[in-house]
Amino acid sequence: MTRPRIALLGRFAEHTSATRSGAIVTARLLAEAVWQAGGEPITFLPTDDFDWATRLAGCQGVLMPGGADIDPQLYGQNPESDELYGIDATQDAADLSLVRWVIEQRVPLLAICRGFQMVNVALGGTLVQDMSVNHKHVLHQIRLEADDERLGLSSKVIDCSCYHHQAVDRLGDGLRVIATAELGHPEAFAIDNGAWAYGVQWHPEDNAASDKHQAEIFGRFVAESAKAKHIGA
């Protein structure tokens, strides 16, 4: 059976062990999680070409991965923390454009960490620029308040691997919180646009190979993508 093509917007990296200079990267664990779920992960270059219908032709789902911080000016604030890192105007503009297009076109979407935060910003929400207690290298348990079956989960309680120092503050329009962290910030939301579209603050790829619940999320995402029409068709 043909694997559904899953578009991942690449992330800029200053250096990697495999390149002599800057790179466009996709986390290996993330690509492998999509592959193990039956999808074909394809990385796209962030540029100022926002003709997504043409660029993503043949894809059936979009995954917005984790990455560096979003420029606070995109959510109406000035930078207020020395902990902000990796802000890149090209990356921000490409992410913002793609997220809005995908939601409008009702393409199956899974947004992770930075992707989760970018969805919130794209829909008019704001972020906490630096949490009082960050969630870097944190494994914690959450309980899904809703949509666990639609996410493909066989349990409402799952262990989540986090790496973030920012959090959703004001929730964007059309978003419905389905899980909340003990610290009080949204940990997952549904994007109520009529498609299969979700965002999670944690990194399900971190332990998808050993935790069946994280693998279940990728499995449902790829399955929903396989049922969707090809972009550009």
Tens of pLDDT along 22-77?
999 999 999 999 999 999 999 999 999 999 999 999 999 999 999 999 999 999 99
Rounded CA separation 85/67 (Å): 10
Residue 144 is predicted with a pLDDT of 98
Lowest mean pLDDT of 17-21, 96-100, 101-105, 115-119, name the range.
17-21
Residue 21 is predicted with a pLDDT of 85
Q: How do 197-200 and 5-9 pair as beta strands?
A: unpaired
Average pLDDT over residues 201-216: 98
Rounded CA separation 1/177 (Å): 35
Residue 64: beta bridge partners? 111
pTM of the model: 0.96
Task: State the CATH class of domain 5-227.
Answer: alpha beta
Residue with tokens 């992707």: 115
The alpha carbons of the chain give a radius of gyration, in whole angstroms, of 16
Average pLDDT over residues 71-96: 97
Domain ranges of the chain: 5-227
